[in-house]
């Protein structure tokens, strides 16, 4: 019998007009699936693409989503609160760098729609070891426990670390760690 819950880590490849999103479905120690989609640089489609990417096969199995930041493909914002609400799953946004929400909001000045979305989903970031995280669809204690459960080879949850490696490897021909 397989032990442990499954999570998906989602990261984007290098910025291109149609940027690659990679989702890695795994238990803490075993990859069970890889999903992908393309999203528009600085677009408005990342949340919809992630919802579609989960599809039917893996959706019932995934119990948590890890995202590498709130923006993919430049400033294509992932509405992690909407994902949590529609999928009824914890969504945990991780980053190795301390978030600067005011600087991010300032960068969105020329995009009023994106700025409004950012202000709606903006929540305090919490630090745990080498990562900062925000969350929706769970408590802070549950988010921290899920992060710890999936930290295998670094402070970054393993599904997210592997998604980063796969996305860069496909788009650049090689990858480096997260």
Alpha helices in 41-139 (DSSP H): 46-54, 80-87, 101-107, 112-121
The neighbouring-strand residues paired with 30 are 27
Residues of the chain below pLDDT 70: 1-3, 15-16, 177-178
Which pLDDT does position 146 carry in this prediction? 97
* Cα separation values, 171 from 39, 65, 166, 167, Å: 14, 23, 9, 6
Q: Could you tell me if 6 and 27 are in contact, meaning their C-beta atoms sit under 8 angstroms apart?
A: yes
In the chain the beta strands, taken as DSSP E runs, fall at 6-12, 18-27, 30-40, 62-68, 71-72, 76-77, 91-95, 126-128, 131-136
The architecture of the domain spanning 6-169 is: 2-Layer Sandwich (3.30)
How far apart, in whole angstroms, are the C-alpha atoms of residue 146 and residue 162? Answer: 16
Tokens representing 59 are 């959706």
């Amino acid at each position: 019998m397989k032990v442990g819950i499954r999570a998906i880590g989602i990261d984007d490849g290098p910025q291109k007009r149609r940027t690659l999103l990679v989702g890695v479905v795994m238990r803490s120690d075993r990859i069970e699936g890889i999903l992908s989609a393309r999203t528009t640089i600085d677009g408005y489609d990342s949340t919809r693409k992630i919802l579609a990417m989960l599809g039917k096969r893996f959706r019932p199995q995934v119990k948590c989503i890890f995202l590498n930041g709130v923006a993919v493909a430049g400033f294509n914002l992932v509405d992690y609160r909407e994902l949590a609400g529609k999928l009824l799953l914890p969504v945990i946004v991780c980053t190795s760098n301390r978030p600067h929400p005011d600087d991010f909001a300032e960068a969105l000045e020329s995009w009023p729609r994106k700025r409004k979305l950012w202000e709606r989903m903006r929540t305090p970031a919490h630090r745990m070891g080498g990562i900062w995280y925000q969350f929706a669809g769970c408590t802070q204690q549950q988010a921290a426990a899920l992060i710890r459960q999936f930290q295998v080879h670094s402070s970054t949850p393993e599904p997210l670390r592997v998604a980063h490696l796969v996305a860069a490897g496909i788009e650049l021909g090689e990858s480096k760690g997260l």
